[in-house]
Chain A
Amino acid sequence: MSDEYDPRIVGLLCNWCTYAGADLAGTTRTRYPQNIRPVRIPCSGRVSPHFILTALFQGADGVFVGGCHPADCHYNTGNYYARRRFAVLRSFLDFVGVEPQRLSLEWVSAAEGDRFAELVTGFTDGVRKLGSPNPYARRELEE
């Protein structure tokens, strides 16, 4: 491992849009950072704030949540619930001192492979610019 800080990013991707968009980015051979580790979930509405906290505790430096565009959710309203939960969690994490750049909720449709690559690139760069690992990772706390 090099000395340079290489962020670890967890991607919670909705099965119908963002996961398919990530798949498209792969099949069209679009280049994007390999830091993101995707986890498939049925819908962004399935994302409990607990998942994001688990990712941060386990050592993720950033968490990227992807869902369908508004009014385009496969389950009609899941992404709206995701958006509300995310807004609450973001203000909470801001309060406890996690940089807001470590969290991202984005809408990526199944046809937007390039957009997925762009967003992941931008998000990864933003997390990398913070310059240090997430202070709440469990292995940091145990020391």
Chain B
Amino acid sequence: MDCMEVCFFAAVEEEEYMGRKVAAVLPGVCQGCGACVAQCADGAMEMNSFTDDQIHAEITALFAGEVTR
């Protein structure tokens, strides 16, 4: 999995979940860089406090209420 390859700290491990291989983050090892979140093409990886939704909302809010030009 891409997230495992990208992680410098080897904090992502493969795990079996309902008969499928899934990625699982070891919270004690994870340093919180977010490289795996950006790498995951399926959007399965998410990060505390810097979720995709939060950053998109932040970028969108930068232009909220501005004069159209």
Q: Quick one: which of A68-88 are within 8 Å of B by CB? A: 74-78, 81, 85
**Residue-by-residue, is B3-35 near A (CB-CB < 8 Å gives 1, otherwise 0)?**
000101100000000000000000000011111
Q: How far is the CA of A133 from the CA of B60 in the complex (A)?
A: 17
In the complex, the number of residue pairs spanning A and B with C-beta atoms less than 8 Å apart equals 78
5 smallest CB-CB distances across A and B, nearest first, come from: A46-B34, A75-B33, A45-B35, A48-B38, A43-B33
User: Which residues of B approach A to under 8 Å, CB–CB?
Assistant: 6, 8-9, 31-35, 37-39, 47, 50, 52, 55-56, 58-60, 62-63, 66-69
With a CB–CB cut-off of 8 A, which chain B residues contact A48?
37-38, 52
Please tell me if the beta carbons of A81 and B62 are within 8 angstroms of each other in the complex.
no
A59 interfacial by beta-carbon distance below 8 Å: yes
Chain A, Cβ-Cβ closest to B37: A46
Q: How far is the CA of A1 from the CA of B38 in the complex (A)?
A: 37
Stretch at the interface among A17-25, A49-57, A119-127: A49-57
A58 interfacial by beta-carbon distance below 8 Å: yes
With a CB–CB cut-off of 8 A, which chain B residues contact A39?
55, 58-59, 62
With a CB–CB cut-off of 8 A, which chain A residues contact B47?
42, 46
